[in-house]
């Protein structure tokens, strides 16, 4: 019943900006955490950014050069991920993940629901 609907991605110019959006459909719990993961071909998924239902953010310290940010739009019931000064290494699949607790962790274990992923290609 719970579905994470991701949007955005596609072809992005190197040095430009990337914007992704995630909406949790069929989810009605007060406490949650939602995060974005990135996976390059041949590499394991890595957490990029996370935000809780209370607005707390995590993973910020691990964002390369502080280029990644996450924000929650309560009015739209969506979470946006933004990447600045993107580079070819940012290419890959981006996944939205949802956890049913108000905590953020980089590990995948706590995230019960996953989007199918969106493809991002950064041109060089």
Question: What DSSP assignment string belongs to the chain?
Answer: --EEEEEE-EEEETTS-EEEEEEEET---SS-EEEEEEE-TTS--EEEEEEETTS-EESGGGSGGG-EEEEEETTTTEEEEEE-S--GGG-EEEEEEEESSS---SSSTT--EE---EEEEEE-
Q: Summarize pLDDT for 76-117 with one digit per residue, the tens.
A: 778 999 999 999 999 999 999 999 999 998 789 999 999 999
In sequence order, the β-bridge partners of residue 26 are none
Average pLDDT of the chain, as a whole number = 90
Q: What is the pLDDT of residue 64?
A: 52
């Amino acid at each position: 019943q719970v579905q994470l609907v991701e949007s955005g991605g596609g072809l992005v110019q190197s040095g430009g900006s990337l914007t992704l959006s995630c909406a949790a459909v069929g989810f009605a719990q007060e406490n949650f955490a939602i995060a974005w993961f990135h996976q390059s071909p041949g590499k394991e998924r890595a957490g990029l950014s996370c935000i809780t239902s209370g607005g707390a953010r995590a993973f910020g310290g691990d964002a390369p050069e502080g280029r990644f940010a996450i924000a929650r739009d309560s009015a739209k019931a969506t979470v946006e991920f933004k990447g600045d000064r993107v580079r070819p290494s940012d290419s890959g699949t981006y996944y939205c993940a949802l956890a049913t607790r108000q905590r953020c962790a980089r590990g995948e274990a706590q995230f019960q629901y996953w989007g199918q992923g969106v493809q991002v290609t950064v041109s060089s």
